[in-house]
Amino acid sequence: MTVLTDSATADVGHAPTRSAAHALAVWKRPKMWFATMLLGVSATALCAPTAALPFFDGVLHARSPHGVYAEIRFEPHRLVAQVHGSHTCVLHAHLVHGDPHISRYAIEPPQGGRFCDELVDGEIVIRPHSSNDVMADFRSPRMDWSGEFHRYTSGR
């Protein structure tokens, strides 16, 4: 049935139909906008600079006034200590016990260097004095060294 209204014809018997593609596009449009924004935020987060891991340096002493310069880098549940000078070597240790007052790290088998070899079956004990200063004890059945370490900053 066709009815004339205001000099225009309208088909009253059939409702206008839209294609399935159009319906899908209308349904999908807000989701695509959201996905695009999410992707943009993710890309920004991935490109952002990451926070540096805590890095401390100091001098280890045994029972003499002469010391050995070392650096300690803290990682999640681990630390890496690099000993310099005539005792050059790198120690890796994993966290055994940690709380705000003391943390104990078991030294993993070293890969060379007489100083590090002497620390086999040993531990590194960390006692924080502040967020910028820690006391570190490197202990084993054969040796015992300790020193005060300060957070490394590029400006010092």
Average predicted confidence (pLDDT) for the chain: 78
- Average pLDDT of the residues in 113-126: 92
Token digits of residue 140: 């084993």
What are the pLDDT digits (tens) for 66-118? 899 999 999 999 999 999 988 899 999 999 998 889 999 999 998 878 889 99
- pTM of the shown model: 0.64
Closest of 143, 135, 56 to residue 107, by C-alpha: 143
Beta strand pairing call for 89-98 and 103-107: antiparallel
Q: Which fold, 55-151?
A: Porin (2.40.160)
Positions of CATH 2.40.160 in the chain: 55-151
